[in-house]
């Protein structure tokens, strides 16, 4: 077996360049495992973490989404979440968070995504609390007992699996638990980042009659269209007159508006627009405002007059990751997910983050 050390990208202090550091690689904990990361995904949330927009401990190995190969299994970690046998050499994905099972949302409200004590790889497992290798921007990660680990079907391309690694389960949660897409519905998706593309792709798989993506910049919409995601694509980011684009959306949707509007833009102002894109009696599902980006002005009359169901959805649990992984063969058969991903070596983490920040890539992953 090779050296018992691992290299990882570390957030040492907010707003400063990240550092590539080497740590000891511990033995796998009982019930857990050591995984050699193939890819660690960069998510929009990571840009906020780096700047200190969320209260997290440092130093911290970043990376809350990943795919890798089991290197060593701890005692008692013989099966994945579906009951399939696990062996060293198997490819796996893992859920970023473990809910505590003890707090009020976990025990009484049956809402583990709202757990008050979630432990999340790459977000709140600091180097000092150990093990240091608790993020996916590394060549190895130590997974703790209680982690939802799942083996993708044979033949699933790991890069394609990473295209919607965090966005996919997030949207599975939203569409499975919060507001399903019904057969024949017309759906507007606001936002053309990974969450928007996941929402559009899963809406199409769910039987939507038409899916309109409103987003930008134009390159992202073109990438979505080339991957087969969305039936119509409208650029609001580059538009001189956003109101005109909204009229075009209404025209593309037809009738009095969409049956379902899914907000995946993360920009507060999108909510005022989204409320006016739904038909009377329709639904508005808000997923994109994961980071608190501040207040916005809305007209609440739109909610009442249109008699809208306005629903929020927060994060995901291990079960939603398992659903996403189960859907990968169907998703990759219909959509060119691999085309959405750009891989960078671990050493080029700074370039990868810049490309995500300026929107020049749809999805960046770090390869070990
Ligand atoms: Zn994420
Ligand atoms: Zn809890």
- Cα separation, 216 vs 318, in Å, equals 31
pLDDT at residue 1 in the model? 47
Per-residue tokens: 227: 């991957």
pLDDT greater than 70 at residue 318: yes
Distance 41 CA to ligand 1 centre (A): 8
Cα 136 to middle of ligand 1, angstroms: 12
Q: Which domains does the chain have, with CATH numbers?
A: 5-165+316-367 (3.90.180.10), 180-312 (3.40.50.720)
Ligand at minimal distance from the CA of 117 is: 2
User: How far is the C-alpha of 13 from the C-alpha of 45, rounded, in Å?
Assistant: 16
Residue 181 near residue 203, CB atoms below 8 Å: yes
> How much of the chain exceeds pLDDT 90, in percent?
92
pLDDT tens digits, 141-169: 999 999 999 999 999 999 999 999 999 99
Task: Looking at the CA of 112, name the nearest ligand.
Answer: 2
Q: How does pLDDT run across 213-268, given as a tens digit for each residue? A: 999 999 999 999 999 999 999 999 888 888 898 899 999 998 789 999 999 999 99
Distance between Cα 89 and ligand 1 center (Å): 26
Ligand 2 center–CA 113 separation, angstroms? 8
Nearest to 188 by CA among 240, 265, 96, 111: 265
Distances (CA, A) of 302 to 250, 277, 278, 299: 15, 10, 9, 6
Measured distance between the N- and C-terminal CA atoms of the chain, rounded to whole angstroms: 17
Q: Is the pLDDT score of 78 beyond 70? A: yes
Among the residue ranges 61-70, 160-169, 284-293, 320-329, the one predicted with the least confidence is 284-293
User: For the chain, what is the mean pLDDT?
Assistant: 96
pLDDT value at residue 238: 84
Is the predicted pLDDT of residue 299 greater than 50, yes or no? yes
Ligand 1 centre distance from Cα of residue 44 (Å): 6
pLDDT at 254: 87
The kind and range of the H/E element at 364 are strand 363-367
With CA atoms as reference, report the closest residue to 116 among 249, 285, 314, 266.
Answer: 314
Residue 108 alpha carbon to ligand 2 centre in Å? 10
Considering only residues 240 and 282, tell me which one the structure prediction assigns the higher pLDDT.
282
Is residue 337 within 8 Å of 229, Cβ to Cβ? Answer: no
Please report which ligand is nearest the Cα atom of 170: 1
Cα of 76 to ligand 2 centre, how many Å? 24
- pLDDT tens digits, 19-56: 999 999 999 999 999 999 999 999 989 999 999 988 99
HSE, side-chain direction, 13 A CA sphere, residue 289: 18
Beta bridge partners of 367: 39, 345
Question: Distance, CA 324 to ligand 1 centroid (Å)?
Answer: 14
* 223 Cα–ligand 2 center, Å: 38
Give the per-residue pLDDT at 255: 79
The model carries a pTM of 0.95
**Distance from residue 62's CA to the centre of ligand 1 (Å):** 11
Strands 33-42 and 186-190: unpaired
- 341 Cα: distance to centroid of ligand 2 (angstroms): 33
| pLDDT value, residue 291 | 85
**Residue 249: what pLDDT?**
93
Q: Has residue 2 got a pLDDT over 80? A: no
Ligand number with the minimum distance to the CA of 104:
2
Instruction: Tell me the C-alpha distance between 251 and 238, whole Å.
Output: 19
């Amino acid at each position: 077996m090779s050296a018992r050390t691992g290299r990882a990208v570390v957030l040492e202090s907010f707003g400063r360049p990240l550092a590539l550091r080497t740590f000891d690689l511990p033995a796998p904990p009982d019930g857990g495992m050591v995984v050699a990361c193939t890819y660690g995904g960069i998510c929009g949330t990571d840009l906020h973490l780096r700047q200190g927009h969320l209260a997290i401990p440092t130093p911290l190995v970043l990376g809350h989404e990943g795919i890798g190969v089991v290197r060593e299994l701890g005692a008692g970690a013989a099966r994945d979440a579906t009951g399939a046998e696990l062996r060293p050499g198997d490819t796996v994905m893992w859920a970023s968070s473990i809910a505590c099972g003890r707090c009020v949302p976990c025990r009484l409200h049956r809402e583990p995504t709202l757990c008050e004590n979630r432990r999340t790889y790459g977000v709140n497992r600091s180097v000092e609390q150990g093990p240091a290798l608790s993020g996916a921007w590394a060549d190895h990660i130590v997974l703790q007992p209680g982690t939802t680990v799942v083996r993708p079907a044979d033949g699933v391309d790991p890069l394609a699996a990473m295209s919607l690694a965090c966005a996919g389960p997030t949207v599975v949660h939203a569409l499975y638990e919060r507001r399903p897409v019904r057969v024949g519905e017309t759906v507007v998706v606001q936002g053309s980042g990974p969450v928007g593309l996941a929402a559009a792709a899963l809406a199409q798989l769910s039987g939507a009659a038409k899916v309109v993506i409103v987003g930008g910049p134009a390159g992202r919409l073109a990438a979505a269209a080339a991957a087969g995601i969305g039936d119509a694509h409208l650029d609001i980011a580059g538009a001189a007159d956003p109101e005109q684009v909204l009229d075009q959306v209404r025209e593309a949707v037809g009738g009095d508006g969409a049956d379902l509007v899914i907000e995946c833009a993360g920009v507060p102002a999108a909510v005022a627009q989204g409320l006016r894109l739904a038909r009377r009696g329709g639904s508005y599902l808000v997923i994109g405002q994961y980071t608190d980006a501040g207040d916005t002005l809305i007209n609440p009359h739109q909610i009442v007059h249109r008699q809208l169901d306005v629903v929020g959805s927060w994060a995901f649990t291990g079960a939603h990751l398992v659903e996403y992984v189960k859907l990968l063969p169907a998703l990759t058969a219909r959509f060119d997910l691999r085309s959405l991903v750009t891989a960078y070596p671990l050493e080029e983490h700074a370039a990868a983050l810049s490309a995500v920040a300026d929107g020049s890539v749809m999805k960046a992953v770090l390869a070990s």
